[in-house]
Amino acid sequence: METAPFYILLFVHLSGLILGFGAVLVTDLYGLLWIRDRVRFPQVVRVSGVTERFIWAGWGLMVAAGIPLLVLKGVIDNLLIVKLFFVILIGLNGLPLHVLQKQVRGYEEGDAVPTLTLFRLTLALFVSQLAWWSAVLIGFLHRHVQTVIEWPDTPWLLIGLVVAILLALWASGEVLIRRNRAAADDVKEKITP
């Protein structure tokens, strides 16, 4: 496995990681600065519009180099199945994030961002961080600890658990926010003559 093609592919894979994950961290840092009232929301939207291209390019490079790396390795162990899940989750999570980014692009300085939109952004950013950090950690373990790791015994159960927890978070947030909005609308109707 330690051949010239392996090292070339590894270089491309790690370059994609640096490009994509670096852009994710910049975007999330601006989001955190906005939450702490250090930057204005339109600035966060502008930055995310730029970094989105780098995130997709980095993710694409990682996947394009990762597939031949899997072929060279010749073994897909249980932990690698979990890593592949997180890599796929990064891409799938990027789709609603792209839609949300387009949606918030229309907000001006001082506009109130709806609570439901903020919840969806927060959840998508949480999923992004979870997936990127998990994939990076698993990649590090495979490269520097052991190349074949047959843990967990049932990777599909772990993947199912992660999916179930994320879906439960999403569904409960949507229901609670919509219920609170409906209750607030009812109160407004009763107050307004």
DSSP state of 100: H
Q: Return the pLDDT at 157.
A: 97
Q: Round to whole Å and give the CA distance between 132 and 23.
A: 11
Q: Return the pLDDT at 193.
A: 64
Q: Round to whole Å and give the CA distance between 103 and 150.
A: 42
For residue 10, count CB atoms less than 10 angstroms from its CB and return exposed for 0-12, middle for 13-18, buried for 19 or more: middle
Q: Return the pLDDT at 25.
A: 96
Q: Return the pLDDT at 190.
A: 73
Domain residues for the domain of 165 are: 4-191
Q: Which residues of the chain fall below pLDDT 50?
A: none
Q: At 38, which helix (H) or strand (E)?
A: none
Between the alpha carbon of residue 130 and those of residues 13, 17, 76, 83, 134, the distances in Å are 19, 15, 22, 11, 6
Contact 8, 15 (CB under 8 A): no
Report the number of distinct structural domains present in the chain: 1
Q: Return the pLDDT at 27.
A: 94
Of 4, 131, 122, the closest CA to residue 62 belongs to 131
Where residue 110 falls (left for φ over 0; alpha for ψ -120 to 50; beta otherwise) is: left
